[in-house]
């Protein structure tokens, strides 16, 4: 195989798409997503929220002055639930 053949093979490989999740969600994280499906919850009310936030599945929304921030699903979080056949 010469250099031209190798270059042609290298460019023919499809580029990998980045994936949303780098790991499987725990049952607690899935349960938290299900809770958020029905209603936003108080910010950081559950210990799974920071990991879901880091994964881009939930977001923090500021509420009125003095009221605690709330957490809700992002479009990516909704996509995870749709992928499970829940939505």
pLDDT at 52: 93
Residue 46 lies in a domain: yes
Give the residues across from 72 on adjacent strands: 59
pLDDT at 63: 75
How many domains does one find in the chain? 1
Residue 41 lies in a domain: yes
> Which of 63-69's residues contact partners 24+ apart within 8 Å by CB, and which partners?
68/42, 68/43, 69/42, 69/43
Residue 17 lies in a domain: no
Residue 5 lies in a domain: no
- Check which CATH number belongs to the domain holding 39 and give it: 1.10.10.10
Residue 69 lies in a domain: yes
**Range of 51's domain?**
25-87
The model's pLDDT over 4-46, given as tens digits with 9 standing for 90+, comes to 555 555 555 444 444 456 678 999 999 999 999 988 887 767 8
pLDDT at 27: 92
The model's pLDDT over 39-74, given as tens digits with 9 standing for 90+, comes to 888 776 789 999 999 999 999 988 777 777 889 999
């Amino acid at each position: 195989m010469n250099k031209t053949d190798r270059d042609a093979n290298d460019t023919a490989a499809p580029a990998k798409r980045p994936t949303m999740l780098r790991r499987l969600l725990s049952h607690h994280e899935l349960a938290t997503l299900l809770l958020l499906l029905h209603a936003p919850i108080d910010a950081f009310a559950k210990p799974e929220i920071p990991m879901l936030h880091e994964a881009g599945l939930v977001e923090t929304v500021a509420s009125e002055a003095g009221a605690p921030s709330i957490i809700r699903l992002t479009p990516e979080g909704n996509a995870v639930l749709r992928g499970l056949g829940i939505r």
